[in-house]
Amino acid sequence: MSITSVKPKAYRADEFLSSHNLDRADATVTEIFNLMFGFEIKVIESAADGEIQAECDERTAVVGFSGAMRGSCQIRTTTCAARSIASAMLGGIPIDAEDDSTNDALGELCNMLAGGWKNGVPELSSECALSPPTVIAGRSYKVHVSKPSVNFSRAYRFNSHTLFLTLYREESSLFRA
């Protein structure tokens, strides 16, 4: 018995950067925040409206994509905002500053956002896999991604918190067999 492997069609950069795709990301964020947490969330048009203070602790969650598109979904917010998300996920119970559920909740949120966005793209729905989430915490750190890549970023406001979402797509020439 022979098994034939069909290589998935790559998700093109122009499709990835389209306004329709940006709308899809916004709709995914809005749906998850409204349904899962009961939070109203809106896009922040000016980056200055959503800056995270350099002296604040931050958390970044990363979920990778592989298959028809390689890249990642990253969300970044303050530790206080991550605790608010964790509390909402756990039914409103207060979360201590050192509670591991904060990282778990932020990782799961990133997983839901990456999966929700990916499943809305017909070319990626069944042809792209997600990695388990990774969460980074600290101050003044930088997350490096493969180059060359294209990305789009959005800032969102919920309650008094800001959430940054960035979707990266590696150039397909990096992963041709």
The CATH architecture to which 13-174 belongs is: 3-Layer(aba) Sandwich (3.40)
Q: What is the pLDDT of residues 57-109, one digit of tens each?
A: 899 999 999 998 999 999 999 999 999 999 999 999 999 878 899 999 999 99
Residues in the chain, overall count: 177
Q: What angle do CA 66, 70, 75 make, to 5 degrees?
A: 95
User: Please, are residues 39 and 107 in contact by the beta-carbon 8 Å criterion?
Assistant: no
Q: What is the DSSP string of 116-168?
A: HHHHTSTTTTTTEEEPPPEEEEESS------SSEEEEEEEEEETTEEEEEEEE
Residue 132 in this model has a pLDDT that exceeds 90: yes
Percent of the chain at pLDDT > 70 equals: 84
User: Please, are residues 37 and 109 in contact by the beta-carbon 8 Å criterion?
Assistant: no
User: Please, are residues 76 and 52 in contact by the beta-carbon 8 Å criterion?
Assistant: yes
**What was the pLDDT predicted at 176?**
45
**What was the pLDDT predicted at 174?**
45
Query: Peptide bond preceding 148: is omega within 30 degrees of 0, i.e. cis?
Result: yes
**What was the pLDDT predicted at 175?**
45
Question: Could you give the CA distance from residue 111 to residue 57 in angstroms, rounded to a whole number?
Answer: 22
Domain ranges within the chain, ordered by starting residue: 13-174
Which tops the pLDDT comparison, 142 or 115?
Answer: 115
Question: Could you give the CA distance from residue 43 to residue 155 in angstroms, rounded to a whole number?
Answer: 6
Using pLDDT thresholds of 50, 70 and 90, give the confidence band for residue 6.
Answer: low
**What was the pLDDT predicted at 51?**
58
Which tops the pLDDT comparison, 75 or 126?
Answer: 75
Using pLDDT thresholds of 50, 70 and 90, give the confidence band for residue 46.
Answer: low
Using pLDDT thresholds of 50, 70 and 90, give the confidence band for residue 49.
Answer: very low
Pairing of β 58-67 and β 128-130: antiparallel
**What was the pLDDT predicted at 109?**
98
